[in-house]
Structure 1
Amino acid sequence: MKSVFFLILAILSVGFNAQMLSSVYFEHNSYELNEGSKKKLDSLALLKAGLTFRIFGNCDSSGETEYNRLLSEKRANAVSAYLQGKIGNNIRLENTTGLGEEKQINDNSTDELRGKNRRVDIFIEKIFAPGEIISRKALPSFLSTKVSQMKVKDTFSLPDVNFIGGRHVWLPNGSTKLDQLLRILKDHPALEVELQGHICCDYENFDGEDIDLGTFNLSWTRANAIKEFLQKEGIASDRIKVKGLGHLNPVAYPERTETDRIRNRRVELVLLKK
């Protein structure tokens, strides 16, 4: 529960409309909430700031389209009904929607991946103030900071590592910078990092569609593309964690130019161990 509070508080302390995603998962063909899901929803219901929850039910692709749509609605309604009995006036349930198999975040090639598609997503939002403008201060570069000066849990930028819109393919000038990242990790084998992916533009959904994969986890696939590059070059998988943050922390909002959009299509790095 504490981790949920601290994440929300961190989000709300930033001067923009934060949207956070929380998800609960279901057994095959079921819309019953398990005890773990109830505990997660209990913690969300205790949040004190003025928030809006939007609830979206999802399915894997194992059933017929209409059956999946109805099942996803039942899942969304189960979450909504549970929260309705817990929340106070500080939280508003704005909508409850069943998406069926429309927003797959993974392919359905294994039981584990299908299980991740059997879920309900709760979007937790604070609204942008009218006319609000964000221009976030640049983070220190991981590539130019001495390892001796780095602190565990600090977040760093990967300068010039930006991505093509809608894809997990980085722009050409990112390759040199990723070679530098690879060299730092090879030279300092004790370092462990978390790669955090970001998107631009799509503020109706937590994350964007990866047009190459057809999944709705673009921020994660961007971070994972860098992990796969590093693994291929000999960095052990257990030294690299991957997280997708959707549009949670834009460096520029509103995105008035292509430069703004490119700046938001990025991956940042958190130092986990040194």
Structure 2
Amino acid sequence: MRSTPLPSRHWDGSLFHVRRRRSLRLSSDSASRLLRCGQGDRCRDCGNRIEWYHSTNERPVRLHPHELPAEKVPPSCHWHVSSGVAHPAGDGSGWCRLPHAMVCPARDTNPAAPELTGLRRALAVNTRRLIDSGAFVPPPALPDTKASASTTCRPARPVVQLLYLRYLANHPVDEIQCVAQTRRRHRCTSPLLTHDTRAGVWTLLPSTTSHGQLPLPGEFMAVYSLTGLSYAEQLRWRAQRCPEHAAIPTAADVALAEWEPFDPLLHHEHIRTRLPTLARRRAPAGYGSKAPRADRAPHRGS
């Protein structure tokens, strides 16, 4: 039995043109591989798959890659994607998207809804499988704040100022990784800050908002300033490329730049009020006491 073929002409005798369906493809000479609405990635804390979207306020959002029944997700956590933009609300359907932070097994907080506990447990099992197979290496545990306060002061998410704007980085300054693609089609492992490039300067600046408001009263924050570098060097940092790939403009990107516009009202927990140092000097023995030191000569009048 044969299906009836489509007519080749209309009723008036004109040719019947059928448009061929074409899938969205990327040109081989394109300088970017990110021409899609959802950029797939893996969580740097648990290794599970996530999808990056830009929200309505132009901030990147990490969403769970699969849709979930809306009835199993709290209404305050409903997200939906429309035209490649993530919106923090439901679209009226029976399905919704969920922020990955709600079910990330690397976080200590448990999901608010008991229905999400099973999903979080499944992601934890997958994380263990990735670790056992060597496909994922968890980040080192942060040292105790009280124990390390006297020896180190290194912001995990520093505030960087470049091109007269402030951004919140996802990694320490010396661990910000290049997003360019190598010849083996992997992400470049080189950092942005190398021994051949000029480094920025840590400085204390007033905590100002991104909307032109007045600075917070009595609030100063540590900022890694790159305004002293050249314009081309600041563009390299903004594009998040190492010096080698910055000289190759045709190199593709395999990840989104991890800069997040800084807002002191939203990112108040990342504000540091003192400059980071590699090691803080301890007070010498007898410092601050009025008793004379043994190695010091006595006063002439004594």
Q: TM-score range by the shorter chain?
A: under 0.3
Report the structure, 1 or 2, having the larger helix content.
1
User: TM-score, structure 1 length as denominator?
Assistant: 0.25
Question: Which of 1 and 2 has greater Rg?
Answer: 2
Pick 1 or 2: higher relative contact order, CA cutoff 8 A, min separation 6. 1
User: TM-score, structure 2 length as denominator?
Assistant: 0.23
